[in-house]
Amino acid sequence: MSTPHVSAAPDHLNPPLQALFRRLLGEIDSPDSSDWDATDSLLDAKVYSDPDIHRLEVERIFRRLPLCLGHADQLPEPGSMLARDLLGLPLLLVRDAQGDIQVLLNVCRHRGARLVAGQDTVCRQTGLTCPYHAWRYGLDGALLGVPMAQGFPTLDPASRGLKRLPSTVRHGLVWAVLDPAQATIDVPGLLGGLDDDLAVLGLGSHRFFRQRVQTRATNWKLVMDAFQEVYHIKRLHARTIAPFFLHAKSAGEAVGPHLRILVGREQLPDATALPPGAWDVRRHATLTHAIFPNSLLIYHPDSTSHLGMFPTAPGEIRFVHTMFTPHAARNDKEQAHWDRTFDMIDGGVFSAEDLFISEQIQQGVASGANDSFVLGRFEQHLRRFHAQVQGMLRG
Ligand code: FES
Ligand SMILES: [Fe+2]
């Protein structure tokens, strides 16, 4: 989040974002906040470590809801594909010959060999051929060829295509339900009131910039927690982004199970003299959407981050950070600027600060020092987030 280099008109704001921005302006001079809950509360520490809770979260939350897997522009042309293992499923994201993105299981339908061996690197292929006996599949997963086909007199090729998960692209983002038994996906239904936010922010025309995937020793909810409060910014981020922000000035609100939150930047007071059309949720403030259960969209001054937390164990996640930009870099200067932005945000802020502290907390949870954690009045969005998780676990 270094000094914006790419100048652009502010994003057009819809009425809910304008109303939230107006509330944020009202926070500038108020010592307390209208936003806070009436009182603090306790959170059972075992939500971060209990294997039964983890199992239920996977079953009742992660396998049921559409999850965002990144930006569609990462797969730029027909034949682009990306293998990625998430939630125990070997996924294959493929742009097919029609230009549609398919989310397939990376598993041969003959005797189950993995089709693409590695993961996390985009490659380009015209189709998929199994390394074991060379069954051949199209980019849409259809079974196209079986060597020595006379050996399979009862085989029905139409029913032996690669398993396909329900998926769609909306707002430029790839969404899928990670359960081969599910038939449909409803992203507008998931997003509810955030659907229009994402539409007006125009992410569909943004371009993929860079992605990093890491395995980190933290519960997924600790990372979601870290992005739903501003209490920590001045301390944890003192060496990186803290100077860009006012101290603890934010306005957030629940949108169904999700959160939209604006955090006041240093430039926020300038906006008091501007008409609403000039209010900028990337420069006067930083907008974040926490999309239930495991996605965060963070709107930097001239780029956007998507963070996805995919649990592999109570105390472990695959953390996928994708950065996209309003357009492809047009020259070396823009490329260098966004390279620096990515390095600072991904390496400096997320990895070395937010994920670092989440891992430290995970170790603290294991120590038994805390049966419970204390959520302050201004940690109200964490309270709601955890209540939402617990509600879904109860079914
Ligand atoms: S397991 Fe793939 S062709 Fe046999
Ligand atoms: Fe943070």
Closest CA to 110 of 137, 83, 81, 138: 137
Atom from ligand 1 closest to the CA of residue 109: 2
- The span from the CA of 114 to the CA of 356, in Å, is 33
CB 132 less than 6 A from any atom of ligand 1: yes
Closest CA to 140 of 90, 187, 93: 93
Q: Give the largest Cα separation in the chain, rounded.
A: 79
CB 342 less than 6 A from any atom of ligand 1: no
CATH code, 235: 3.90.380.10
> Is residue 42 situated within a structural domain?
yes
Q: Do 44 and 93 reside in the same domain of the chain?
A: no
Burial of 30 (0-12, 13-18, 19+ CB in 10 A): exposed
Q: Do 170 and 296 reside in the same domain of the chain?
A: no
Q: Do 173 and 212 reside in the same domain of the chain?
A: no
Ligand at shortest distance from the CA of 350: 2
Q: Do 114 and 246 reside in the same domain of the chain?
A: no
Last residue of a domain, one of 158, 185, 212: 185
Q: Do 251 and 355 reside in the same domain of the chain?
A: yes
Ligand at shortest distance from the CA of 110: 1
Ligand at shortest distance from the CA of 107: 1
Q: Do 43 and 161 reside in the same domain of the chain?
A: no
> Is residue 119 situated within a structural domain?
yes
Backbone angles phi, psi at 344, to 5 degrees: -70, -45
Q: Do 318 and 338 reside in the same domain of the chain?
A: yes
152 lies in which domain range?
79-185
> Is residue 71 situated within a structural domain?
no
Ligand 2 center–CA 251 separation, angstroms:
16
Atom from ligand 1 closest to the CA of residue 115: 2
**Strands, E, within the chain: which ranges?**
41-44, 67-71, 80-86, 89-95, 101-105, 122-124, 128-129, 136-137, 143-145, 164-165, 167-170, 173-176, 207-216, 245-255, 258-265, 285-291, 295-299, 304-313, 316-325, 372-375
Task: Retrieve residue 237's tokens.
Answer: 């981020």
CB 131 less than 6 A from any atom of ligand 1: no
Q: Do 287 and 383 reside in the same domain of the chain?
A: yes
Which residue ranges in the chain fall short of pLDDT 50? 1-4
Is 353 within 8 Å of 1 (Cβ atoms)? no
How many structural domains compose the chain? Answer: 2
Atom from ligand 1 closest to the CA of residue 135: 3
Q: Do 251 and 221 reside in the same domain of the chain?
A: yes
> Is residue 7 situated within a structural domain?
no
Last residue of a domain, one of 142, 165, 185: 185
Ligand 1 center–CA 373 separation, angstroms:
50
CB 147 less than 6 A from any atom of ligand 1: no
- The span from the CA of 172 to the CA of 168, in Å, is 10
Task: Check residue 1 and give its pLDDT.
Answer: 46
CB 113 less than 6 A from any atom of ligand 1: yes
**Residue whose CA is at the smallest distance from ligand 1 atom 3:** 133
Atom from ligand 1 closest to the CA of residue 111: 1
Closest CA to 355 of 213, 212, 218: 218
Q: Do 245 and 289 reside in the same domain of the chain?
A: yes
CATH code, 113: 2.102.10.10
Task: Retrieve residue 134's tokens.
Answer: 């060379």
> Is residue 318 situated within a structural domain?
yes
CB 145 less than 6 A from any atom of ligand 1: no
Ligand at shortest distance from the CA of 298: 2
> Is residue 60 situated within a structural domain?
yes
Ligand 1 center–CA 130 separation, angstroms:
6
Task: Check residue 124 and give its pLDDT.
Answer: 95
Ligand 2 center–CA 233 separation, angstroms:
6
Q: Do 48 and 89 reside in the same domain of the chain?
A: no
Ligand at shortest distance from the CA of 148: 1
- The span from the CA of 58 to the CA of 61, in Å, is 6
Ligand 1 center–CA 58 separation, angstroms:
29
- The span from the CA of 293 to the CA of 337, in Å, is 32
**Residue whose CA is at the smallest distance from ligand 1 atom 4:** 133
> Is residue 33 situated within a structural domain?
yes
* Dihedral (CA of 98, 170, 389, 352) sign: positive
Q: Do 123 and 30 reside in the same domain of the chain?
A: no
Last residue of a domain, one of 185, 209, 234: 185
- The span from the CA of 215 to the CA of 120, in Å, is 12
Ligand 1 center–CA 127 separation, angstroms:
15
> Is residue 375 situated within a structural domain?
yes
Neighbouring residues of 343: CB distance < 8 A, sequence distance ≥ 6: none
CA distances from 321 to 274, 280, 345, 346 (A): 34, 24, 10, 7
pTM for the whole structure: 0.96
Task: Check residue 34 and give its pLDDT.
Answer: 72
